[in-house]
Amino acid sequence: MQTVRTKGATKSQVASPTRPTVPFWIWAAVAAALLFAFYNAYEGRVTTTTIQQTRDALEKQIQLQQESARELAVARREALILTDPKSLKIAMPAGKNDLPVLHATWNSELGLVVSGQKLQMPSGNRTLQLWLIPKAPGAKPIPSSTLRPDGDGKVDLLVASPPDSPSATKALAITDEPEGGSPRPTTSPIWVGAVAGDRKSRHSRWPPKVALTRPGSARRSLFLLFVAAALCRCSLF
In the predicted model, is pLDDT for residue 65 greater than 90?
Answer: no
Amino acid type, 101? V
User: What's the rounded mean pLDDT across residues 61-71?
Assistant: 86
Task: Output the average pLDDT for the chain.
Answer: 79
The model's pLDDT over 172-229, given as tens digits with 9 standing for 90+, comes to 999 999 999 999 999 999 999 999 754 443 333 323 333 333 445 455 555 555 545 5
In this predicted structure, what is the pLDDT of residue 202?
36
Determine the topology of domain 88-205 in CATH. Answer: Immunoglobulin-like (2.60.40)
Q: What ranges do the domains of the chain cover? A: 37-83, 88-205
Neighbours of 157 (CB within 10 A): 20
In this predicted structure, what is the pLDDT of residue 206?
27
Q: How far is CA 122 from the centre of its chain?
A: 21
Of residues 150 and 11, the one with the higher pLDDT is 150
Confidence of residue 148 (pLDDT cuts 50, 70, 90): very high
Residue 148 near residue 121 (C-beta atoms within 8 A) = yes
In this predicted structure, what is the pLDDT of residue 235?
46
Confidence of residue 28 (pLDDT cuts 50, 70, 90): confident
In the predicted model, is pLDDT for residue 114 greater than 70?
Answer: yes
pTM given for the model: 0.60
Residue 100 near residue 114 (C-beta atoms within 8 A) = no
Residues with Cβ within 8 Å of residue 118, at least 6 apart in sequence: 100, 153
In this predicted structure, what is the pLDDT of residue 15?
53
The percentage of the chain sitting over the pLDDT mark of 90, rounded to a whole number, equals: 46
Residue 35: C-alpha distances to residues 31, 32, 44, 88 (Å): 6, 5, 14, 76
Instruction: Give the dihedral sign, CA 113/114/118/123.
Output: negative
Confidence of residue 14 (pLDDT cuts 50, 70, 90): low
In this predicted structure, what is the pLDDT of residue 68?
86
